């Protein structure tokens, strides 16, 4: 892969721990058996929960949007955290098992409650968590579904499938993914390229010893990706995808744009927890890439656009030490054609995203960008 | 024919070539046999501008005509046809010389034959009359006023004759052959409703129901576009009959008096077909069709017994084969449609005929067996011997005759809408060789040797498919509306068909608009009516079949909870004993006015419920027929029964929680078992109050709504408070809020400060569970104020605990500790073990926050003891769990390795703190 060299290097701020996505909140277990009621006893069957939290009013990332909407990541993150809680407390999944999000979907069914207004807002989820692939009473994955409401108004849904592989399986997948990515990245074959990517492997939890040269890149203006602060821009301007065979990158065509994802910046602005990092990273990178693409392709105004649908499947881990690319393609054959409209007459664009590291597909996503008007 | 005016004006042997003499000829022929004055002729030729020489010119024309009339090719001289008769002229023609005369003669003969039901002769004669026409009447000549009028009149006459001829042809069963001709005629005469009606009938009888409806739409559009009027009543009525698949619209061979005598040796009789048309879009019922088809095929493997194709039940097989299928189900479930569909599909198996007999008269009363057998004989006799006219009146003779008529014949008899076993048994005995399908609302369980099939509503997918099949493209375009409509129709086939027909009949509606009209439960039945297709009427027949006591029960039970209710609810509403209520309910179930469910997981053996449309009917009947006091009194009875049982269950679920129950407040019958003994209440609730609440929760909330609506304020507050323990334990926030908003309003309406305090505190607990700190504090403070006003120190102390919980969650541990201490002291002073229990739990967490695990363990030990004293097993176990956590923390387990842990701050409620947020309790 060739990366267009960037003339300027954006200064990095000193490392400050990113605040958590969610503040303090209550999680209520809803028992429907006598033993669940009396003893909080939870067999490996579907369990219901109620979740409620105040939506943040001053988060440095998620309150930094130019469009005045609550962030779509909240319900997903709420779902994820509840699933982690349920995994440990209710389903007795051992603590040495990492949580891996294998798929996630979130939808906005009514945009009005998502608008940010003065004063606090409460988000609530009505969650059902079902253990799957139960072996000896311990599930290997959880299927989670939630109905989302904000200030008592039903306004969305969220789903997630979360796997809890054994440490051995987890390490195997990690290593395999890293190997596939590193061997397929340019610069590892001894050839020259304008921008050599220093690739290293690391185990989860380790800080990379050397940041890739990819960090020296040009980023779009924050308004183009729906942010006010340049600090919160996680993607670079679209790049020329490589021509080499065997890569997963597509050429930039009239129907596709490829963005480098600024992993170091992401590591600074997103919560520093591996499990949360991947979800938050991919959702935020999806949003920024999709908004940019929607502006380029359809003339959307980012300050009045929101993601009304995000659906992704995860094939592997996003290694912090390796370059990550996000390719956005349109779902419409003729980009100049009329966009579909929702029942209120607002246009929306459906975009297909793929995240890759080297030849390895990390995630595929489908998003819908709604132009609010 | 010498003279023709039914087309271009023509005279034999030579027609005058000049236009005006032809016009004179035409005028005289139209008025043949009468004198036409010179003035009339002049007006006809020159209208309002005759020349000065008009009279002279006319004479010339007449002279020319006379010469032409006298000419012939070797013929004998004719008598002068054109005579001068003052004040004008007269044309004399023989009866067969003028085509108009012949036409009118044939027309008269054809009409007479029609009136005598000699349709074949009528068709022939009228056809002959039409055959005289060679074009538009009086064409080829300039028209003055008289000729213009005459031409219109003659063309109209022609069309009338054409219509009558077509009518005769339709009666002769020539509908297939007429379709093409009628389509052309309807196109060329778009304003003639009769032609459109004939076309619709021809299409319908040709099995093209949808084309018939399309013809109606075209006719309507033409009338509206051209004339701005809607079709007349006759055409509208026909459209409704097509939509309803009116059996009378089908072609039945009519006995006509043929001109020729009957042959001495009758030809071999064809099959008797006496069935209404099959519906064009039969949907679903695959299982039932398969069973029916096997029985009609004579499959000896089809046993007798009951096949209940509703969700519950299964076949009860016995080994005897049978030839009788009894299909039962509620009104509108499609029994007749199923039977007719089966019959149409079984033509090969019944070469001797398929006959449907209606077993109810026009008034809905059951037809007696004698009349049924007589009708059957007549229908069989119509195809057999022409001489079989008299039918005996004695049932024995009838039975014998029927037996002989059907012996050895492969006949299928559908007996539709039977009322009882006694009605059909004699008929069944008389047709032992025939296969019979019986439909009835109530299952005819006393019939032996019969395969019973109980029809329930359609499954949701089949119901939606039916709406789309019957409703057309507009239905298919809005799948969400289809799903909603199917549900609002209760998946009842009749309702689905009426809904679909309603949309088809209204091209300007969308499916979503129709769904909107069906949403209101109280007006839904009114929206499901189209012409004589009326769901309400159909359902009313079942209502009218039961006695007055059952009708009264049916109406009152409309107030019962949805989707189902236990027998105790019925007893409360009806004001009877549980046994009497159950008996009435079972009668209603038998009459298909009520449904009974048995769920293995349910605590109640049987629960009852309404089909949604029957509930709409019950509500309507209640509004129409009940005295003003009936509904409030029944609501109060239900509310009190709910309160008594809810308090009993709550006392076992969360002992000591409900302050209104403990203090005897609300004046709403605070003693336990109001209307129930303790033993009865325990038996009704069973071993698990949690499961009882889960089963009854929807009904209890509905009872709160009803009592609030009835202005029963104290009962409303008390009932909501009795259920709130369950809501709190299971985190049912929406229901909790809904019920308590009503309860708060009720408390304020009645000026009951104590009730208001109790409700506010519960709302504070709700806000706290929702982690809405500010709102929780507001409510606790307000509740505390009202508790103090009501001198309820226990209630006020519990508010302090709630406030402390909020403070602790915000990280204000010390302030929380003060509140907990105060609450504990007050609770102990008042002997409130529950209050003390909650406060002690809070103090334990404060100790944990400060890192004093041992002190926390001590407090949790006290908390456990208080829970034991309060009789609350759940809190006792919770205290033990919390103690385990505290012990683990104090021993360094599960410590920093995984960071701060979520804290179970109340049973089943966890406070989750992020790492970078306020330091967690651990």
pLDDT in tens, B470-506: 888 888 889 999 999 999 999 999 999 999 988 888 8
pLDDT at residue B383 in the model: 40
Per the prediction, chain B carries an average pLDDT of 86
Closest CA to B24 of B4, B14, B6, B38: B38
Mean pLDDT of B104-122: 89
**Hey, are the CB atoms on B910 and A29 less than 8 Å from each other?**
yes
pLDDT value at position A213? Answer: 38
Residue B165 has pLDDT above 50, yes or no: yes
Partners of B740 on chain A (C-beta within 8 Å) are none
Range B686-695 average pLDDT? 88
User: What does the radius of gyration of chain A's CA atoms come to, in whole angstroms?
Assistant: 21
B391 has a pLDDT exceeding 70? no
pLDDT tens-digit readout, B409-424: 899 999 999 999 999 9
- ipTM higher than threshold 0.90: no
Q: What percent of chain B stands above pLDDT 90?
A: 49
Q: What mean pLDDT comes out for the span B807-815? A: 91
Residue of A nearest to B768 (CA): A26
- Rounded Cα distance between B269 and B291, Å, is 31
Task: Note the pLDDT tens digit of each residue in B129-139.
Answer: 999 998 889 98
B573 vs A215, higher pLDDT: B573
Q: Does the pLDDT value for residue B162 go beyond 90?
A: yes
User: DSSP state, B758?
Assistant: H
HSE (side-chain half, CA atoms, 13 Å) at B534: 8
Measured between beta carbons, the chain B residues lying within 8 angstroms of A33 are: 690
Check residues A117 and B921 and name the one with the higher pLDDT. A117
* Chain A CB within 8 Å of residue B86 CB: no
* Phi and psi based region of residue B312 (left: phi greater than 0; alpha: psi -120 to 50; beta: remaining): beta
Q: Is the pLDDT higher at B432 or at A7?
A: B432
Torsion of CA B641, B646, B647, B651, to 10 degrees: 150
Chain B residue numbers touching A39 (CB-CB < 8 A): 877
Q: What is residue A186's predicted lDDT score, i.e. its pLDDT?
A: 66
Where is pLDDT greater, at B598 or A104?
A: A104
Closest chain B residue to the Cα of A153, Cα to Cα: B734
Q: What is the pLDDT of residue A211?
A: 34
Q: Does the CB of B896 have a partner CB in chain A at under 8 Å?
A: no
For range B346-370, the mean pLDDT: 87
Q: Which of B480, B733, B913, B922 to mutate to test the interface with A (most CBs of A within 10 A)?
A: B733
Q: Measure Cα distances from B687 to B599, B649, B697 in Å.
A: 17, 10, 17
Predicted local distance difference test score (pLDDT) of residue B396: 86
Residue B385 binned pLDDT confidence (cut-offs 50, 70, 90): very low
Fold match, A25-163 / A167-371: yes
Which residue in chain A has the smallest CA separation from B737? A152
Q: How far apart are alpha carbons B423 and B432 in whole angstroms?
A: 16
For residues A111 and A72, give the distance between their C-alpha atoms in angstroms, rounded to a whole number: 11
- State the CB neighbour count (10 A cutoff) for residue B529: 14
Q: Average pLDDT in the B199-209 region?
A: 88
Does B788 contact chain A (CB < 8 Å)? Answer: no
**pLDDT interval class at A14 (50, 70, 90):** very low
**Which band of pLDDT confidence, cut at 50, 70 and 90, is reported for residue B191?**
confident
For chain B, the domains span 1-172, 272-455, 460-519, 538-626
Centre a 10 Å sphere on the Cβ of residue B546 and count the other Cβ atoms it contains: 19
Put simply, whether B480 touches A (Cβ < 8 Å) is no
Residues in B closer than 8 angstroms to A37, CB to CB, are: 653, 690, 729-730, 874, 908
In chain B, residues with a C-beta closer than 8 Å to the C-beta of A22 are 912, 914
* Average pLDDT of chain A to the nearest whole number: 77
pLDDT at residue B893, rounded to an integer: 55
Q: Which residues of A185-221 are buried (b: 16+ CB within 10 A; e: fewer)?
A: bbbeeeeeeebebbbeeeeeeeebeebbbbbbbebbe
Integer Cα distance of A163 and A132 in angstroms: 9
Q: Which residues of A334-345 are buried (b: 16+ CB within 10 A; e: fewer)?
A: eeeeebeeeeee
The residues, any chain, with a CB within 8 Å of residue A125's CB and separated by 6 or more, are A49, A50, A51, A52, A75, A78, A79, A82, A146, A147, A148, A149, A158
Q: Give the other-Cβ count within 10 Å of B915's Cβ.
A: 14
Distance CA B128, CA A153 (A): 77
Q: Tell me whether the CATH fold assigned to B1-172 matches the one assigned to B272-455.
A: no
Cα-based distances in Å from B585 to B332, B606, B656: 21, 11, 37
Cα B203 to Cα B200: distance, rounded to the nearest angstrom? 5
Q: How confident is the model at residue A274 (pLDDT cuts 50, 70, 90)?
A: low
**Closest-CA residue to A266 (of A206, A215, A194, A327):** A215
pLDDT at A247 over 70: no
> So what's the pLDDT on residue B122?
92
Distance from C-alpha of B610 to C-alpha of B588, rounded to nearest angstrom:
10
Q: What percent of chain A has pLDDT over 90?
A: 23
* Candidate CATH numbers 3.20.20.70, 3.30.70.100, 3.40.50.1370, 3.40.50.300; the one for domain B272-455: 3.40.50.300
A45: left (phi over 0), alpha (psi -120 to 50) or beta: beta
Q: How far is B760 from chain A (nearest CA, A)?
A: 19
| Mean pLDDT computed over B854-879 | 95
The answer for B 48-67 residues in CB contact with A (under 8 A) is none
Are B733 and A50 inside 8 Å of each other by CB? yes
Subunit contact B731:A34, Cβ cutoff 8 A = no
Would the CB atoms of A27 and B909 count as touching at under 8 Å? yes
**By the CB < 8 Å criterion, does B809 face chain A?**
yes
CATH superfamily, with its number, for domain A25-163:
Hotdog Thioesterase (3.10.129.10)
**pLDDT for B200 beyond 70:** yes
- In the predicted structure, residue B572 carries a pLDDT above the cut 90: yes
Size of interface A-B (CB pairs under 8 A): 100
Residues of chain A found within 8 Å of residue B881, distances taken between Cβ atoms: 40
The rounded Cα B865 to chain-centroid distance in angstroms is 60
* Ranges B155-164, B298-307, B748-757: which has the least confidence: B298-307
Which tokens is B116 given? 């005598």
Quick check: B772 and A122 CB within 8 A?
A: yes
- The reported pLDDT for the residue numbered B901 is 66
* Residues comprising chain B, all counted: 922
Q: Which of B771, B907, B908 sits opposite A25 (nearest CB)?
A: B771
What kind and span of H or E run contains B181? helix B175-188
Closest residue by Cα to residue A129 from A247, A18, A44, A219:
A44
- Rounded Cα–Cα distance for residues B302 and B449 (Å): 11
Is the pLDDT at B258 greater than 60, yes or no? no
Predicted pLDDT of residue B426: 92
Our CA-based measurement puts residue B655 at a distance from the nearest CA of chain A, in whole angstroms, of: 13
Closest residue in A to B687 (Cα) is: A34
Is pLDDT of A198 > 80? no
Tokens encoding B914? 């992020």
User: Domain limits of chain A?
Assistant: 25-163, 167-371
Query: Going by C-beta distance under 8 Å and a sequence separation of 6 or more, which residues neighbour residue A82?
Result: A27, A49, A51, A125, A127, A129, A144
Q: Which fold has domain A167-371?
A: Thiol Ester Dehydrase; Chain A (3.10.129)
Q: Across residues B643-651, what is the average pLDDT?
A: 94
Kindly indicate the confidence band of residue A209, based on its pLDDT and cuts at 50, 70 and 90: very low
CATH number of B1-172: 1.10.10.10
Q: What 3-state DSSP class applies to B244?
A: coil
Q: Which CATH number fits domain B538-626: 1.10.10.10, 1.20.1250.20, 1.10.10.60, 2.40.50.140?
A: 1.10.10.10
Contacts of A95 in chain B (CB under 8 A): 898
Closest chain A residue to the Cα of B897, Cα to Cα: A95
Answer yes or no: is pLDDT of B670 > 70.
Answer: no
* Nearest chain B residue to A152, by CA: B734
Contacts of B916 in chain A (CB under 8 A): 17, 19-20
| pLDDT tens digits for range A45-64 | 899 999 998 888 777 777 78
Between CA B171 and CA A208 the distance in angstroms is: 94
CA angle B879, B882, B888 (to 5 degrees): 140
* SS3 letters across chain A: CCCCCCCCCCCCCCCCCCCCCCCCEEEEEECCCHHHHHHCCCCCCCEEEEEEEECCCCCCCCCCECCCECCCHHHHHHHHHHHHHHHHHHCCCCCCCCCEEEEEEEEECCCHHHECCCCCCEEEEEEEEEEEEEECCEEEEEEEEEEEEECCEEEEEEEEEEECCCHHHHHHHHHHHHHHHHHHCCCCCCCCCCCCCCCCCCCCCCCCCCCCHHHCCCCCCHHHHCECCHHHCCECCCCCCCCCCCCCCCCCCCCEEEEEECHHHHHHHCCCCHHHHHHHHHHHHHHHHHHHHHHHHHCCCHHHEEEEEEEEEECCCCCCCCCEEEEEEECCCCCCCCCCECCCCCEEEEEEEEEEECCEEEEEEEEEEEECC
Chain A residues with CB-CB distance to B918 below 8 A = 24
Half-sphere exposure of B504 (CA within 13 A, CB side): 26
Kindly determine whether residue A32 and residue B911, on different chains, have CB atoms separated by under 8 Å: no
Do the chains contact at B911 and A124, CB–CB below 8 Å?
Answer: no
More confident residue, A33 or B287: B287
Q: Is B771 part of the contact surface with chain A (CB cutoff 8 Å)? A: yes
8 Å CB contact between B88 and B40? yes
Chain B's closest residue to A36, CA to CA, is B908
Among A17, A24, A31, the residue with its CB nearest the CB of B912 is A24
pTM: 0.69
**Cis, bond preceding B13 (omega within 30 deg of 0):** yes
Evaluate if residue A130 carries a pLDDT over 90. yes
Distance CA B850, CA B812 (A): 11
Residue A168 has pLDDT above 80, yes or no: yes
**Helices (H), ranges, B850-906:** 853-870, 873-890
* A107 closest CA partner among A370, A343, A300, A304: A370
Residue B545, class by beta-carbon neighbours within 10 Å (0-12 exposed, 13-18 middle, 19+ buried)?
A: middle
Q: Closest Cα to residue B28, out of B69, B78, B75? A: B69
pLDDT of residue B894: 47
The percentage of chain B sitting over the pLDDT mark of 70, rounded to a whole number, equals: 89
| Nearest CB partner across the interface for A26, out of B729, B909, B914 | B909
pLDDT level of residue A72 (50, 70, 90 thresholds) = confident
Rounded to the nearest angstrom, the minimum Cα separation between A226 and chain B is: 26
pLDDT in the model for residue A346: 92
Query: Whole-angstrom distance between the N-terminal and C-terminal Cα of chain B?
Result: 119
Say what the pLDDT of residue B527 is: 86
**pLDDT given for residue B898 in this prediction:** 43
Average pLDDT value for residue range B577-585: 92
> How does pLDDT run across B430-446, given as a tens digit for each residue?
999 999 999 999 889 88
pLDDT number for residue B668: 47
Name the least confident of A304-313, B226-235, B574-583, B855-864. Answer: B226-235
Nearest to B690 among A37, A50, A52 (CB): A37
By Cβ distance, the residue of A17, A27, A31 closest to B912 is A27
Which of A158, A307, A215 shows the shortest CA–CA distance to A13?
Answer: A215
What are the two backbone dihedrals, phi and then psi, of residue B359, each rounded to the nearest 5 degrees?
-100, 10
Residue A190 C-alpha, separation from nearest chain B C-alpha, in angstroms: 43
Query: Where does the pLDDT of residue A212 fall: very low under 50, low under 70, confident under 90, or very high at 90 and above?
Result: very low
pLDDT value of residue A154: 93
| Model pLDDT, residue B856 | 94
Distances (CA, A) of B901 to A27, A124, A199: 13, 21, 36
- Answer whether B319's CB lies under 8 Å from B313's CB: no
* B5-58 pLDDT, tens digit each: 999 998 888 888 888 999 999 999 999 888 998 988 998 898 878 888 888 999
* Contact: A28, B908; criterion CB under 8 Å: yes
């Amino acid at each position: 892969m060739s990366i267009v060299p960037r003339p300027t290097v954006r200064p990095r701020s000193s490392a400050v721990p990113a605040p958590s996505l969610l503040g303090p909140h209550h999680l209520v277990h809803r028992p429907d058996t006598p033993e669940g009621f009396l003893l909080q006893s939870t067999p490996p069957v579907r369990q219901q929960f109620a979740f409620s939290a105040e939506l943040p009013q001053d988060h440095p990332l998620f309150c930094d949007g130019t469009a005045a909407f609550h962030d779509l990541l909240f319900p997903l993150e709420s779902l994820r955290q509840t699933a982690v809680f349920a995994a440990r407390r209710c389903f007795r999944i051992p603590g040495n098992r990492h949580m891996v999000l294998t798929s996630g979907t979130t939808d906005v069914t009514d945009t009005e409650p998502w608008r940010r207004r003065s004063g606090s807002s409460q988000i609530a989820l009505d969650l059902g968590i079902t253990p799957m692939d139960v072996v000896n009473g311990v599930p290997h994955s959880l299927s989670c579904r939630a109905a989302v409401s904000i200030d008592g108004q039903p306004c969305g849904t969220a789903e997630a499938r979360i796997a809890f592989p054994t440490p051995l399986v987890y390490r195997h997948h990690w290593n395999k993914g890293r190997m596939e990515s590193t061997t397929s990245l340019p610069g590892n074959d001894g050839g020259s390229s304008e921008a050599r990517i220093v690739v290293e492997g690391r185990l989860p939890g380790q800080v990379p010893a050397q940041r890739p040269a990819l960090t020296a890149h040009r980023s779009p203006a924050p308004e183009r990706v729906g942010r006010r602060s340049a600090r919160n821009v996680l993607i670079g301007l679209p790049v020329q995808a490589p021509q080499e065979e065997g890569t997963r990158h597509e050429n930039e065509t009239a129907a596709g744009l490829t963005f480098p994802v600024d992993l170091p910046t992401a590591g600074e602005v997103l919560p520093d927890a591996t499990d949360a990092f991947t979800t938050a990273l991919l959702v935020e990178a999806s949003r920024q890439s999709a908004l940019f693409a929607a502006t380029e392709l359809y003339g959307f105004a980012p300050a009045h656009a929101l993601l009304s649908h995000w659906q992704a499947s995860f094939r592997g881990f996003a290694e912090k030490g390796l370059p990550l690319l996000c390719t956005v393609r349109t779902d419409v054959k003729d980009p100049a054609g009329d966009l579909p409209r929702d029942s209120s007459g607002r246009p929306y664009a459906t975009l297909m995203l793929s995240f890759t590291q080297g030849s390895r597909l990390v995630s595929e996503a489908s998003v819908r960008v709604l132009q609010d008007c | 024919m010498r003279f023709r005016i039914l087309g271009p004006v023509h005279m034999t042997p030579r027609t005058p070539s000049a236009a005006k003499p032809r016009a004179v000829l035409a005028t005289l022929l139209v008025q043949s046999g009468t004198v036409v004055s010179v003035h009339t002729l002049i007006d006809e030729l020159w209208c309002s501008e005759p020349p000065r020489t008009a009279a002279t010119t006319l004479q010339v024309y007449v002279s020319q005509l006379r010469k032409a009339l006298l000419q012939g090719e070797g013929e004998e001289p004719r008598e002068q046809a054109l005579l001068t008769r003052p004040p004008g002229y007269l044309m004399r023609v023989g009866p067969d010389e003028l085509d108009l005369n012949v036409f009118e003669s044939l027309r008269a003969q054809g009409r007479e034959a029609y009136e005598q039901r000699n349709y074949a002769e009528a068709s022939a004669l009228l056809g002959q009359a039409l055959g005289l026409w060679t074009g538009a009447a009086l064409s080829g000549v300039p028209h003055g006023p008289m000729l213009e009028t005459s031409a219109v009149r003659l063309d109209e006459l022609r069309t009338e004759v054409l219509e009558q001829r077509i009518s005769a042809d339709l009666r002769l069963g020539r509908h297939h052959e007429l379709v093409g001709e009628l389509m052309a005629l309807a196109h060329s005469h778009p304003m003639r409703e009769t032609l459109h009606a004939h076309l619709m009938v021809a299409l319908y009888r040709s099995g093209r129901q949808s084309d018939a409806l399309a013809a109606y739409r075209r006719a309507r559009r033409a009338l509206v576009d051209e004339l701005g009027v809607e079709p007349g009543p006759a055409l509208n009525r026909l459209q409704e009959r097509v939509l309803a698949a009116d059996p009378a619209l089908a072609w039945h061979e009519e006995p006509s008096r043929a001109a020729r005598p009957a042959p001495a040796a009758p030809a071999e009789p064809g099959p008797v077909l006496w069935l209404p048309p099959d519906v064009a879009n039969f949907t679903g019922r695959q299982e039932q069709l398969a069973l029916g088809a096997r029985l009609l095929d004579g499959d000896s493997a089809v046993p007798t017994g009951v096949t209940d194709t509703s969700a519950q039940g299964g076949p009860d097989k016995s080994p005897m084969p049978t030839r009788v299928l009894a299909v039962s189900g509620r009104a509108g479930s499609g029994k007749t449609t199923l039977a007719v569909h089966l019959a149409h599909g079984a033509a090969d198996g019944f070469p001797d005929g398929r006959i449907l007999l209606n077993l109810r008269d026009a008034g809905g009363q059951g037809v007696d067996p004698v009349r049924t057998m007589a009708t059957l004989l007549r229908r069989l006799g119509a195809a057999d011997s022409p001489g079989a006219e008299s039918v005996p009146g004695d049932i024995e003779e009838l039975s014998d005759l029927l037996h002989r008529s059907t012996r050895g014949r492969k006949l299928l008899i559908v007996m539709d809408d039977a009322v009882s076993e006694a009605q059909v048994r004699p008929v069944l005995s008389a047709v032992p060789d025939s296969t019979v399908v019986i439909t009835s609302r109530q299952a005819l369980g006393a019939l032996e040797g019969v395969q019973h099939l109980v029809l329930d509503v359609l499954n949701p997918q089949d119901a939606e498919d039916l709406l789309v099949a019957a409703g057309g493209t507009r239905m298919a375009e809005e799948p969400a509306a289809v799903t909603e409509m199917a549900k609002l129709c209760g998946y009842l086939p009749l309702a689905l068909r009426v809904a679909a027909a309603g949309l088809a009949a209204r091209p300007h509606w969308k499916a979503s608009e129709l769904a909107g009209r069906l949403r209101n439960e109280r007006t839904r039945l009114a929206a499901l009516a189209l012409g004589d297709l009326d769901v309400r009427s159909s359902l009313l027949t079942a209502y009218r079949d039961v006695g007055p006591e059952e009708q009264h029960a049916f109406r009152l039970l409309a107030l019962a909870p949805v989707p189902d209710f236990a027998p105790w609810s019925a007893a409360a509403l009806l004001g009877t004993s549980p046994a009497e209520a159950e008996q009435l309910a079972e009668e209603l179930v038998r009459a298909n006015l009520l449904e009974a469910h048995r769920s293995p997981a349910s605590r109640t053996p049987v629960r009852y419920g309404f089909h949604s449309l029957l509930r709409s009917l019950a509500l309507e009947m209640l509004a129409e027929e009940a005295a003003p006091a009936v509904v409030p009194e029944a609501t109060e009875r239900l509310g009190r029964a709910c309160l008594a049982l809810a308090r009993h269950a709550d006392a076992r679920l969360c002992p000591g929680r409900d302050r209104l129950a403990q203090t005897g407040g609300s004046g709403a019958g605070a003693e336990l078992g109001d209307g129930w003994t303790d033993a009865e209440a325990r038996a009704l609730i069973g071993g698990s109050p949690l499961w009882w609440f889960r089963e009854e929760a929807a009904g209890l909330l509905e009872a709160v709504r009803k009592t609030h609506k009835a202005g029963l304020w104290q009962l409303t507050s008390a009932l909501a408070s009795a259920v709130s323990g369950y809501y709190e334990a299971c985190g049912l926030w929406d229901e909790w809020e809904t019920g308590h908003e009503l309860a708060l309003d009720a408390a304020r309406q009645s000026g009951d400060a104590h009730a208001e305090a109790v409700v506010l505190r519960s709302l504070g607990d709700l806000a706290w569970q929702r982690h809405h700190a500010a709102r929780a504090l507001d409510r606790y403070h307000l509740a505390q104020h009202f508790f103090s006003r009501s001198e309820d120190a226990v209630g006020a102390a519990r508010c302090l605990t709630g406030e402390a919980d909020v403070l602790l969650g915000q990280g204000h541990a010390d302030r929380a500790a003060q509140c907990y201490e105060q609450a504990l002291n007050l609770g102990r002073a008042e002997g409130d073990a529950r209050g003390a229990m909650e406060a002690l739990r809070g103090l334990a967490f404060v100790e944990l926050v400060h890192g004093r695990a041992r002190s926390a363990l001590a407090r949790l030990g006290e908390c456990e003891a208080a829970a034991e004293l309060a009789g609350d097993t759940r809190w006792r176990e919770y205290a033990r769990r919390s103690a385990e956590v505290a012990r683990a923390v104090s021993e360094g387990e599960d410590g920093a390795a995984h960071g701060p842990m979520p804290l179970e701050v109340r049973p089943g409620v966890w406070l989750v703190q992020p790492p970078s947020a306020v330091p967690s309790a651990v």
